Structure 1
Amino acid sequence: MLKHLTGAALVALAATASAEAKTQITCLTNAGHLTRQHEPLVAQFNAMQEEIEVVYAAPAQNYADTHIKLLRASATNTLPDCAFEAYNQLPSLARAMAARGQIVNLDEMMATEGADWKAANYSEQMLNLGRVDGVQYGMPFNASVAQWYVNTDLLKQAGVDLDSLKTWDGVLAAAAKVNALGDDIGGLSFAADQWGDDWLLQVLIEQQGGAMLNDAGDTIAFDAEDRSLKAMELLRRMVTEGGYNPAIDVDTQLTAFTEGKLGIYANSPASAKMIQERVGGAFDLHSVKFSVWDEENGTLPTGGNAAIITTTDPEKAAAAWTYIKFLTGPEGQNQTARNTGYLPTNLGALAEEYLGAYYAENPYFATPSTQYERAGKWWGYPGTQSEKIWRDQRSVIRGVMLGEMTPQEGATEIKAIAEKLMKR
């Protein structure tokens, strides 16, 4: 069984086998990441060595679909050799697969590389994103914390300085001034009422210094110190003060921003390259650090995914580890950051020859690297109902933003929803 083999044994077995025949491994990611990120990286990896050939399975639709596909494949023993699982869904997947001996403990793999290699490449804060119950099941590949995208031309017209966006009061005041520029101009987009997962809700809790769950991950904690109430109040203020319009769908909000009709837009740095391409030179585009209430303790949930090894074949497992080292190494992260805007997960990628000079010349893409200290946990609920929890909570958030529910009613309801469904 794979779980009884050490990382050293896996690497040794692969080295022996590689001299005899090329090892082919299959990986699973989602469609949104395949073309821009994985295809150029796998092409380079396959060309740079002759021992391993990496191919990709038909992609999942999104993170949720990736999770479902892996759970089903786990039950039928048809897993790929490696996969890329969202941080918030990794705990439930890793626990289920570890019980079946279907996921590799990457601590053992890293031990074969040595402590100096580990320290030179990965911070403990970054590695924590891929740990479950103290075990390194995933190597962080993509990482992102929320940031503001800003049309500084509109801000200048409204008499607003970029520095005012350091606080939430400043953001709302700036958005109000931009919103007043004309009927066809919007001030702010923070589409928590339409987002595909609860990332933006978690932003509002963690930036206060809070957590979604307790340390054991089995009890709601987002209501501590009235943090969920304060989050609901802020969401309502985005509409009443900042000019956010829930009637405009999330895709149209993005289009409005890239066409110069929206002042301040919240999204992941993963969208930085796409946004820049769509804006072209239409206006002066900036990205800035996200606003937090608690500067000392506030964090931001780290979106993204970790690479996991899901094969019981020692040779394929070691080959997958070689590929993952490339993806999460300096060159892999250098390319990923340039192609998308994601925060690099490898310390070496910040060196001058990789992203150091690039960030100095392109400050628009450097914002993620200034938020390392804010990279917090993207929480996942226990049980199998995380998607339904979010769908129901999202409806409540929309009701609060539209003024159909009070912030207090909203805070009470999102807790009740989570407590009811998280045990299933």
Structure 2
Amino acid sequence: MQAAAELCTSRGIPVEATPFDLTYGELDLKVQVDAQAGAKPDVVLQGLNQLIPLDSNDFVVDLTPLANGDELVNDDTIPVLEAGRINGKQLIVPWGISIPAVFVNTDIAASAGVDLDSLVSWDAIEDASAAIAESADNVYGIAFPLQEGWVPLQYLLTAGTELIDGDNAPVFNDDAGDLAIEHINRLYSSGGAFPGDESASREAFASGEVGLFIASSSFIQQFADTSFEWTTVPFPPVEEGGDVVTGAGGAGLAIFADPDRQAAAWEVVKCALDAEILATYAVETIGYLPVRSDIESSLEPGLLDSAPYAAPWSQFGLAGPWLNFPGDDGPRALARFNEAWVEATQQSSNPTAVMDAAAAEIAGLLP
């Protein structure tokens, strides 16, 4: 974003970028507080998981009129615009998209006799995790980060459910949700999954202690300097040959500017979508997948067709909105869901009961 701000400034649109070390949810709350105090920013790099909360935000600008007829921000040039659209309103313009992928330590997998081409279902992942955990001491088969509830969402969507239904009632504990939570619980209860939080899980894979790591493709550049060979394979369906459904991870640009500053803010959004900016920073520096359909000539030749980008890129078209809980208590609902997910997957002999209890509690937090 700093590079984008410098580019905009050089083009006659002065921009001051202010970084914050906050989660997407924390940033959203900060922006709301600042807006209520009369100190709102003009443009915010917003997590795509804030789309549902933004729909009830009085300060965010519907970008649909600004995008109408625009030569850059349209569904042809930016085919993932839907990831920032809700109820007919374009509230976020995606800047970087991430897709779930299976990161594989190829040395560990080979030593355990795991064929990467076999990782085509949840059962196959369980088998591979068990084989890796049994192949050597002090090596775990698999690890997961939560990523603000994003990784659990990928399992729920692919199993055939989501967080809530159209009436805002929790459905993550239905039969499909039970399938997902029981699958991941088996990975932990068997001793094959690394028992740690997001940071520890990431470090465990980076240090060669874990064979499989299921996480966002945005982790690609975080593992660029590891001492071992690794690759990625596509996120698997429940059963071989089945469907995979994903929610788009990543971030995009939202406008909070007052009417007299919205035209300039819109130009800032488009500056940040410059092909060279996206290629250099969003894709090649962070590991996001490109949001522009015409960006390939700006990327390193062959980048998207070779490992580690090829696997998540092959599923790029599957990404829909990153769902979240609505309402003022949405952040509390998400925190309760994440807490329950960790308990159910890592600590419980009855994971479905844990999620049932969480669903009952979260129901009381939703509008």
Q: Would the TM-score normalized by the shorter structure come out above 0.5?
A: yes
Name the counterpart of 2:6.
43
Q: CA deviation at 1:103?
A: 3.1
Q: Aligned partners of 1:398 and 1:120: how far apart in 2? A: 40
1:280-299 Cα distance to aligned partner (Å, 9 max, x none):
xx211101211122655431
SS in 2 for 1:291: coil
Give the 3 Å change call, closer, same or farther, for CA 356–416 of structure 1 in structure 2.
Answer: farther
Give the 3 Å change call, closer, same or farther, for CA 209–422 of structure 1 in structure 2.
Answer: same
Q: Which of 240, 250, 253 pairs up with 1:304?
A: 250
SS in 1 for 2:214: strand
Q: Aligned partners of 1:211 and 1:401: how far apart in 2? A: 17
Q: CA deviation at 1:312?
A: 0.9
- Matched residues, percent identical? 22
Name the counterpart of 1:132.
86
Q: CA deviation at 1:140?
A: 0.7
| Residue type at the aligned position of 1:262 | V
Q: Which of 93, 97, 122 pairs up with 2:78?
A: 122
Q: Which of 57, 60, 63 pairs up with 2:18?
A: 57
Name the counterpart of 1:8.
none
Q: Which of 140, 151, 156 pairs up with 1:205?
A: 156
| Residue type at the aligned position of 1:110 | A
Q: Aligned partners of 2:8 and 2:89: how far apart in 1? A: 27
Give the 3 Å change call, closer, same or farther, for CA 104–397 of structure 1 in structure 2.
Answer: closer
Give the 3 Å change call, closer, same or farther, for CA 271–410 of structure 1 in structure 2.
Answer: same
Name the counterpart of 1:93.
54
| Residue type at the aligned position of 1:105 | D
SS in 2 for 1:174: helix
Q: Which of 233, 255, 267 pairs up with 1:322?
A: 267
1:166-185 correspondence to structure 2 within 5 Å: 166-185=120-139
Q: Aligned partners of 1:199 and 1:339: how far apart in 2? A: 21
Q: Aligned partners of 1:79 and 1:415: how far apart in 2? A: 34
Name the counterpart of 1:398.
342
Name the counterpart of 1:266.
214
Q: In the comparison of the two structures, how many residue pairs are matched?
A: 365
Higher RCO by CA contacts (8 Å cutoff, separation 6 or greater)? 2
Give the 3 Å change call, closer, same or farther, for CA 196–260 of structure 1 in structure 2.
Answer: closer
SS in 2 for 1:368: helix
Q: Contact 1:130–1:306 at 8 Å: present in 2 too?
A: yes
Q: Aligned partners of 1:319 and 1:249: how far apart in 2? A: 41
Q: Contact 1:288–1:367 at 8 Å: present in 2 too?
A: yes
Name the counterpart of 1:387.
331
Q: Contact 2:99–2:312 at 8 Å: present in 1 too?
A: yes
SS in 2 for 1:348: coil
Give the 3 Å change call, closer, same or farther, for CA 420–95 of structure 1 in structure 2.
Answer: closer
1:37-89 Cα distance to aligned partner (Å, 9 max, x none):
x2233333433x2x211111352522122111111122222111111222222
Give the 3 Å change call, closer, same or farther, for CA 120–409 of structure 1 in structure 2.
Answer: closer
Task: Select the structure that is richer in helix.
Answer: 1
Q: Contact 1:103–1:309 at 8 Å: present in 2 too?
A: yes
Name the counterpart of 1:375.
319
Q: Which runs of 4+ in 1 moved over 4 A?
A: 294-297
Q: CA deviation at 1:153?
A: 0.7
Q: CA deviation at 1:112?
A: 4.2
Q: Aligned partners of 1:85 and 1:255: how far apart in 2? A: 26
Give the 3 Å change call, closer, same or farther, for CA 132–42 of structure 1 in structure 2.
Answer: same
In structure 2, stretches of 5+ residues that fail to align are none
Q: Aligned partners of 2:310 and 2:346: how far apart in 1? A: 35
Give the alignment's Cα RMSD to 1 decimal. Answer: 2.3
Give yes or no for the alignment of 1:253 onto 2:201. Answer: yes
Q: Contact 1:232–1:410 at 8 Å: present in 2 too?
A: no
Give yes or no for the alignment of 1:334 onto 2:279. Answer: yes
Q: Contact 2:56–2:327 at 8 Å: present in 1 too?
A: no
Name the counterpart of 1:21.
none
Name the counterpart of 1:365.
309
Q: Aligned partners of 1:86 and 1:227: how far apart in 2? A: 26
| Residue type at the aligned position of 1:290 | F
Q: Aligned partners of 2:123 and 2:191: how far apart in 1? A: 10
| Residue type at the aligned position of 1:320 | A
Name the counterpart of 1:221.
171
In structure 1, stretches of 5+ residues that fail to align are 1-37
Give the 3 Å change call, closer, same or farther, for CA 175–253 of structure 1 in structure 2.
Answer: same
